Structure 1
Amino acid sequence: MLENFSALTDGLPPALIYLMIAALVFAEAALFFGFVLPGETAIVVGGILASQHRLSLPLLLVIAVVAAVTGDSVGYEIGRKLGPRLLTTRVMVRHESKVSKTQDMIRRRGGLAVFIGRFTALLRALMPALVGMSRMPYPKFLLFNFIGGVVWVGTFTLGGYFAGTAFEHVAKLAGQGLAVGVAVVAVAALVVWHFRKKKREEAEEAAARLEHERQETVQS
């Protein structure tokens, strides 16, 4: 498994790898890339590469935190500028029920919603723009965004780092073949869980849209 990660970045200078990770983390909320590729994928891989001494772990942590906070700040500004028009965009209409739940969370929890939202891929993409639209003061948003960013980056980057270190340790003790087999099973389980979760969320979205359309029909 680690060999596959290495192959993807073979020949790339560390500066370019840092840039790629920063771009993916930044774009998650700033450009709504979180609907397609969760940012933790990038920082987990970065942590694995740091365990191979391909990257500096402290520098990776700093770069990822800066990218996360900056990307969310751009998302916040987009929401503040667009205001209610944000809700008419395709991405917001497509995830209407999630948008409604996120808005309710912001109303009930305020800044804490920013921190909580950092740990769910869909909320990470939605939260900054919706908070900006809600007119939460930027200093308050920035405080909770920074705290959430530090905890999120630390958790997933170090998770990747220690997973990479553990893999190398298992490979030495049990042999490369067994270690690869364990890694393949773990990744397969993670993929199955991810697609089941995505399918469940899509079903919930479809049910919410049908209910919304039914209510509109009844009212008309």
Structure 2
Amino acid sequence: MTEWLDGLTAWLSAHPQWLGLALFVVACTECLAIIGLLMPGAVLLFTLAVLAGSGALGLGETLLLAYCGGLLGDLLSYALGRRFHQNIRRLPGLRHHPEWMASAEIHFHKYGFASLLVGRFIGPLRPMLPMVAGMLDMPFGRFLLVSLLASVGWALAYLLPGWATGAALRLPLPEGFWSEAALVAAPLGLLLGLCIHFSLQRHPRVPLLAAGLCMAALAALFVGWPQLDRLDQGLLALLQEHRHAWVDRLMVVATRLGDFKTQVAAGTLLCALLLFARQWRPALFAIGSLLGTALANGSLKWLFARVRPDVLVHPLESYSFPSGHSSAAFAFFLTLGVLAGRGQPPRLRLTWLLLACLPALVIALSRVYLGVHWPTDILAGALLAATVCAASLSLLQRHAALPALAPRVWWLVLPATLALLGGIATWALPEAMEMYRYQ
């Protein structure tokens, strides 16, 4: 496998004109029923994304090709299930491996359309769930809507890290950049690995352990951020080099979702709806996470008065460490992710948290892209939100686990909060474009 992958990489490096087609085909087959189980799609996609980031394809082209390829794989899998229905079990491969479909059927029957959203990030389920949805006659309109949304997060999660790695390898970054990057990445990888391990082992103190680990990482970052200047400068330069007018508009919309007034409105609405639905303990968890993060962020900014990057024409007066947008966004979406994962198996809980982190990550990265924050600012904001969120959950679960929200509560909470966020971002777009005009 290694020799084959090395040969493919070498051939595409010598013939970059075929990289786009290869990316589309691999993304499609990675999401295609049965075939997606047999190929190392994640490794291939990362490798192709690194090649694309090295100068062969822009970020927008890379994400769009992967998005379209993954969406086509979903549609073909759905059509396969719709065409054969229960007879699909007689197809080669499935006839001898019925367990390939068993897990997907269980998840689909248990979680419905939500399984398509969450299962997109679980390797064995990703290529099988669309086929099961077609086999069980899920309405095509509903399937298409969920697949359109899920493909966005999947493309970002699977392609963005590889593309950023390729772009970073190509740029003349400051000397010492990679050593500082390793110094930050290694502890973060260890933190995530331990949290995932304890979650899968169903450790009774997972929230408390996660809060302690995140707090330790945050404390280390507060002590060491002055020594990470080359990392900050390099990552900022990487994002600034790839600025385009159409991406600017998207990033401004994203950054508006993390504005103080927007997050206050969204957080207040979320807590009010939970209280209205008489979900007392989930409401207390949400209040503790959101209010605690806001108070902690304000206090830390006052203690660590760090100047913002010199990118804007009119630099903002407030200090940047930790990023208020990053901490508020991660606190809000992590709260939703934790509530969505209640009462579910560890793998699904972790997947909900991953999904929740994606919009928060976009908001956080928009701050670096627009030159308003340093990368370590948004990392500190994310760690702060994770610390407070995990601590709030740990306190509420001292005597009993936090209960799962009923579907009727989600149909009340989710559309209202998402509509509020979308409405505010759209309404504020003209003013935001003027505010974040850069040199």
TM over 0.5: yes
Deviations 1:39-85 (A, max 9, x none): 33333223212321111210111111111111110110110110101
**Equivalent residues of 1:46, 1:55 under 8 A apart:** no
Q: CA deviation at 1:10?
A: 2.6
**Equivalent residues of 1:47, 1:57 under 8 A apart:** no
Deviations 1:137-159 (A, max 9, x none): 01111111111111011111111
Instruction: Please show how residues 93-172 of structure 1 align to structure 2 within 5 Å.
Output: 93-167=95-169
Instruction: Say which structure is richer in helix.
Output: 1
SS at 1:124 equivalent: coil
Output the TM-score relative to the length of structure 1. Answer: 0.69
Q: CA deviation at 1:8?
A: 3.7
Distance between the aligned counterparts of 1:77 and 1:107, measured in 2? 19
Determine the structure 1 residue equivalent to 2:25.
23
Distance between the aligned counterparts of 2:9 and 2:41, measured in 1? 19
Q: CA deviation at 1:103?
A: 0.5
Q: Which amino acid aligns with 1:58?
A: G
Deviations 1:16-59 (A, max 9, x none): 11111111221234463212224333332232123211112101
SS at 1:173 equivalent: coil
The one of the two structures with greater contact order (alpha-carbon pairs below 8 A, sep at least 6) is 1
SS at 1:125 equivalent: coil
- Answering whether residue 12 of structure 2 is matched by residue 12 of structure 1, we say no
Do the aligned partners of residues 128 and 44 (structure 1) sit closer, same or farther apart at CA in structure 2, a change above 3 Å counting?
same
Instruction: Please show how residues 1-220 of structure 1 align to structure 2 within 5 Å.
Output: 7-14=10-17, 16-30=18-32, 32-167=34-169, 173=175
CA RMSD of aligned residues (A): 3.1
Distance between the aligned counterparts of 1:42 and 1:6, measured in 2? 9
- Unaligned runs of 5+ residues in structure 1 are 187-220
Do the aligned partners of residues 95 and 174 (structure 1) sit closer, same or farther apart at CA in structure 2, a change above 3 Å counting?
farther
Output the TM-score relative to the length of structure 2. Answer: 0.36
**Equivalent residues of 2:54, 2:169 under 8 A apart:** no
Distance between the aligned counterparts of 1:97 and 1:61, measured in 2? 32
- Unaligned runs of 5+ residues in structure 2 are 1-5, 187-439
The percent of aligned pairs where both chains have the same amino acid is: 23
How many pairs are equivalent? 178
Distance between the aligned counterparts of 2:148 and 2:52, measured in 1? 23
Q: Which amino acid aligns with 2:121?
A: F
Distance between the aligned counterparts of 1:165 and 1:155, measured in 2? 16
SS at 1:123 equivalent: coil
Q: Radius of gyration: which is bigger? A: 2
Distance between the aligned counterparts of 1:67 and 1:118, measured in 2? 14
